Amino acid sequence: MNLWLTQHLQALKLVLARFKDNILGTLLISLAIGVTLALPVILYVVLDNLGGLVSDVKKESHLSVFLKLDHDETALQNIKNELEKNTSIKSFQFVSKEDALKQLTSTNNNQDLINSLEGNPLPDAFFIEPKLLDSGSVDTLKNQLSSLEGVEQVQADDAWIKRLNYLLALGKKAMLVLTILLGFALFAVIGNTVRMQILTQQEEIEVSQLIGATKGFICRPFLYSGALYGLFGGLFALLISSAIILLFNQSLAALSVEYQTNFTLNLPNITIFAATCLLAISIGLVSAYLAVSKSLFNSFN
Amino acid sequence: MITFDQVVKRYPGSHEALTNVSFTIDQGEMIYVTGHSGAGKSTLLKLMAAIERPTSGTVLINNQNVSKLKASSLPFIRRKFGFVFQDHKLLYDRNCYHNVALPLLINGVTGTEAGKRIRAALDKVGLLGKEKAMPITLSGGEQQRLAIARAVVSKPSILIADEPTGNLDKNYAEDIIALFSAFQQVGVTVIIATHDALGNATYQNKVLRLNQGSLVADGVRS
């Protein structure tokens, strides 16, 4: 146990000393890994935040039922009764055309435009909050309401949310593909770096083998350097992505004031932090292992 | 300690480097392996130190059969030997101290214990003042002695040297041979390969004479 620990500490110290001797090279490689990993991290943070926004909005989703302009009182009463009977409706609210015009007048700045209207162009309307929010039951309800006497149009205002959800799903797939492709690029970068190191240490490796070094003794420093490249790269990725997200947030702040929300992107949390570092370390370790086992023991007897 | 029985070594695509070689080396002996270039001296030494395995026949090192050992246990056999290579195989990217430190690192010896042993080894070969010097700045004889320091630092029971006096002038060569016999006197088995006629050395030692891969003489030179 003690010997095992000594051997690992030895390898780690050796690798850190080599990194220190070549600090610029180490920084540049870590930076390259960091930039590569920062892209999927940023994409993930943006998608995750938008997803949160969508599920907030979805809770407020409802149906708008607009009545024909020339409907009569019985049709209105009929519809009201139907809505009260319908079990898939949580609550509804009637807004008469007069109320609607009042609301419009109070919120619209362009009074001239409203004053220039000859009559009231707005229909009577019901605003309905359904019990179930999945698109299937909303569609069924929409069809039921459209067939009622005196109904001009039923609008489900979650159509854009649906489209946004499809876009988000597409974005998540794109992120996955990007991560996999960039992961392969990292394999190549780290693998090649470790192979170069093996080449420069060729003499030492040969002598060590001749005087009784085990495979483990020879491989260990290279595996450590692969893993450390991954770790440093992962840390750089989080620094870079955090900086870029803060930059985005400056512009988003101005934009969300216009929309009267306070939407900002969250910085990578501890889960993303751990996942990025672990992913980077394992890519580093595996590619170093492949490089070592490929180029080190071809001539070992 | 080391026993060869009907050992044959054939490299792919060439003739037999060693043919039916049999001999025994006891602990504490000082052995010369002689013969012309290409007679198989280096091959013999590599087989002794478990750096290579025989094509057929048996090589026993401390009663362990090298051919039957797993590849993963060969490194541990090799650690019993101190090997001075024909081309030194010094590492030119580090100073003398760290060159000598390598076998200790492999054995897991570090810290003050390692420092003591490295300085003792450098002292023994007369290079104590040069521990911070880079090997490239050393003369041929000094490089040879540095290689010897590296071979003895982990206190091996067997010391093997391939042409240790090859490129040295006579005075230096005698110094080196004297150094080896000093190790033999403290109980180390010493095996030296040399192509020359052993100079003016007056030691009474066993000689293994090789000719084209066969052992032609195995006896004490008087």
Is the minimum CB–CB distance between A207 and chain B shorter than 8 Å?
yes
Distance from CA of B200 to the nearest CA of A (A): 31
Burial of A59 from C-beta contacts in 10 A (0-12 / 13-18 / 19+): exposed
Q: Are B201 and B173 in contact (CB under 8 A)?
A: no
Report the alpha-carbon angle A133-A138-A141, nearest 5.
Answer: 135
Identify the three-state secondary structure at position B205.
Answer: coil
Identify the three-state secondary structure at position B23.
Answer: strand
Is the minimum CB–CB distance between A76 and chain B shorter than 8 Å?
no
What residues does A89 pair with on adjacent strands?
A130
B75 with A213: Cβ contact below 8 A: yes
**Which residue in A3, A208, A301 is closest to B106 by CB distance?**
A208
Confidence (pLDDT) at B222: 43
Q: Give, in order, the Cα–Cα distances in Å from A9 to each of A58, A224, A300.
A: 54, 10, 25
Q: Which domain holds residue B179?
A: 2-220
By CA distance, what is A11's nearest residue in B? Answer: B105
**Which residues from chain A sit within 8 angstroms of residue B85, using beta carbons?**
210
**Which residues from chain B sit within 8 angstroms of residue A7, using beta carbons?**
108
Confidence (pLDDT) at A283: 93
**Which residue in A217, A300, A301 is closest to B106 by CB distance?**
A217
Residue B202 has pLDDT above 50, yes or no: no
Is the minimum CB–CB distance between A8 and chain B shorter than 8 Å?
no
Distance from CA of A214 to the nearest CA of B (A): 6
**Which residue in B52, B77, B91 is closest to A301 by CB distance?**
B52
Residues 6+ away with beta carbon under 8 Å from A78: A148, A149, A150
Burial of A165 from C-beta contacts in 10 A (0-12 / 13-18 / 19+): middle
Model confidence at A298, in pLDDT bands (50, 70, 90)? Answer: low
Mean pLDDT of A248-272: 82
A37-41, A165-169, B40-44, B195-199: least confidently modelled range: B195-199
| DSSP structural state of residue B87 | T
Q: Give, in order, the Cα–Cα distances in Å from B159 to each of B41, B80, B130, B144.
A: 15, 9, 23, 14
Residue B100 has pLDDT above 80, yes or no: yes
Residue B44 has pLDDT above 50, yes or no: yes
The B-side interface with A (CB below 8 A) comprises 51-53, 71-72, 75-79, 81, 83, 85, 89, 91-93, 102-103, 105-108, 110
The 3-class SS string of B193-209 reads EECCCCCCCCCCCEEEE
Number of domains in chain B: 1
Q: Are A187 and A280 in contact (CB under 8 A)?
A: no
Identify the three-state secondary structure at position A57.
Answer: helix
A203 with B91: Cβ contact below 8 A: yes
Burial of A271 from C-beta contacts in 10 A (0-12 / 13-18 / 19+): exposed
Report the percent of chain B where pLDDT is more than 70: 94
By CA distance, what is B153's nearest residue in A? Answer: A211
A10 with B105: Cβ contact below 8 A: yes
Q: Are B197 and B35 in contact (CB under 8 A)?
A: no
Mean pLDDT of B133-159: 92
What residues does B31 pair with on adjacent strands?
B191, B206
A300 with B108: Cβ contact below 8 A: no
Distance from CA of A253 to the nearest CA of B (A): 56
**Which residues from chain A sit within 8 angstroms of residue B105, using beta carbons?**
10
Strands B189-194 vs B158-162: parallel, antiparallel or unpaired: parallel
| Spatial CA neighbour of A207 closest among B150, B64, B153 | B150
Q: Give, in order, the Cα–Cα distances in Å from A166 to each of A44, A163, B160.
A: 16, 5, 74
Q: Hey, CA dihedral for A244, A246, A252, A254, is it positive or negative?
A: negative
Identify the three-state secondary structure at position A152.
Answer: strand
Kindly provide the ipTM of the predicted complex, given to two decimals: 0.87
A6-15, A228-237, B4-13, B97-106: least confidently modelled range: A6-15
A211 with B78: Cβ contact below 8 A: yes
**pLDDT, tens digit, 9 for 90 and up, residues A127-158:** 887 777 676 777 788 888 888 878 888 877 66
Q: Hey, CA dihedral for A82, A84, A88, A92, is it positive or negative?
A: positive
**Which residues from chain A sit within 8 angstroms of residue B92, using beta carbons?**
203
Report the alpha-carbon angle A36-A40-A41, nearest 5.
Answer: 100
Computed on alpha carbons and rounded to an integer, the radius of gyration of chain B in Å comes to 17
Confidence (pLDDT) at A116: 77
pTM: 0.74
Q: Which two structure tokens, joined as six digits, stand for B186?
A: 């403290």
**Which residue in B53, B83, B92 is closest to A211 by CB distance?**
B83
Q: Chains A, B: CB contacts under 8 A, how many?
A: 52
User: For all residues of chain A together, what is the average pLDDT?
Assistant: 84
CATH of domain A62-157: 3.30.70.3040
**Which residue in A6, A211, A301 is closest to B106 by CB distance?**
A211
A57-71, A270-284, B23-37, B179-193: least confidently modelled range: A57-71
**Which residues from chain B sit within 8 angstroms of residue A211, using beta carbons?**
78-79, 81, 83, 102-103, 106
Model confidence at A66, in pLDDT bands (50, 70, 90)? Answer: confident
Distance from CA of B108 to the nearest CA of A (A): 6
**Which residue in A7, A208, A301 is closest to B108 by CB distance?**
A7
Model confidence at A284, in pLDDT bands (50, 70, 90)? Answer: very high
Confidence (pLDDT) at A133: 67
Identify the three-state secondary structure at position A224.
Answer: helix
Identify the three-state secondary structure at position B61.
Answer: strand
Residue A288 has pLDDT above 80, yes or no: yes
Structure-token match 């040295």, residue found: B168
**Which residue in B102, B107, B110 is closest to A207 by CB distance?**
B102
Strands B2-10 vs B81-84: parallel, antiparallel or unpaired: unpaired
CATH 3.30.70.3040 boundaries in chain A: 62-157
Q: Cβ–Cβ contacts within 10 Å for residue B173, how many?
A: 22
* Residue B17's CATH number: 3.40.50.300
Model confidence at B134, in pLDDT bands (50, 70, 90)? Answer: very high
User: For all residues of chain B together, what is the average pLDDT?
Assistant: 87
